Amino acid sequence: MSIALMTFDIFGTVLDWRTGLERELGELDFDAVVDRQAELESEQFRSYTEIVAQSLVDEVGLSESEAARTGANAGQWPLFPDSADALRRLRAIAPCAAITNSDLAHGAQVQAQLGFALDGWICAEEVRAYKPDVSMWRAASRRLDVPFSRDWWHVSAYADYDLATARALGLTCVFVQRPHSRLGPADVIVTDLTELAELVSR
């Protein structure tokens, strides 16, 4: 199979944001938090740190100071156990980059956890837009110098945020079955990133 580039959603696909939030704050209505974030992302642009903070104030009743601290440290939420090793293996096959509704500071936090740098961190803070806005993928195409085609694989646990736009652009869509995923049409379905690494290594 031909793969020129693999791009990844981060929060919920590489990073276990639900576990991270619940370890920090206790049991909560995670879907309500995520849906509130989506509402906020559709309004006037704010950083993801601010989006996370506002969603936790609104849906969890967190104080503004505690919510701000949580938002700033979101990239320190735990990785899924398979993420680091699988991404290391995948980078030996093709460049691997993030297309993520997050900030640059979160990129530093996530890549510190991985133990290596990805081949790009295309984030909302720089693009000034949030997925599913097509401008996120256009920015990735320009920065990584890869045209839209089936040779570009986009990997996500979220059909609504990611795979619908990726499919419209003609990319190969990979759905990862994470505990908090939102299924939709995909070309490839895997249980985790290890299965993806095994698939493309054949």
Domains with residue ranges and CATH for the chain: 5-16+76-201 (3.40.50.1000), 17-74 (no CATH)
Q: What angle do CA 141, 200, 163 make, to 5 degrees?
A: 45
Q: 202 pLDDT exceeds 90? A: no
3-state secondary structure of 18: helix
User: What tens digit of pLDDT does each residue of 52-108 get?
Assistant: 999 999 999 999 999 999 999 999 999 999 999 999 999 999 999 999 999 999 999
The type of residue at 174 is V
How far from the centroid of its chain's Cα atoms is residue 77's Cα? 13
- pLDDT (mean) for 171-196: 96
Q: 1 pLDDT exceeds 80? A: no
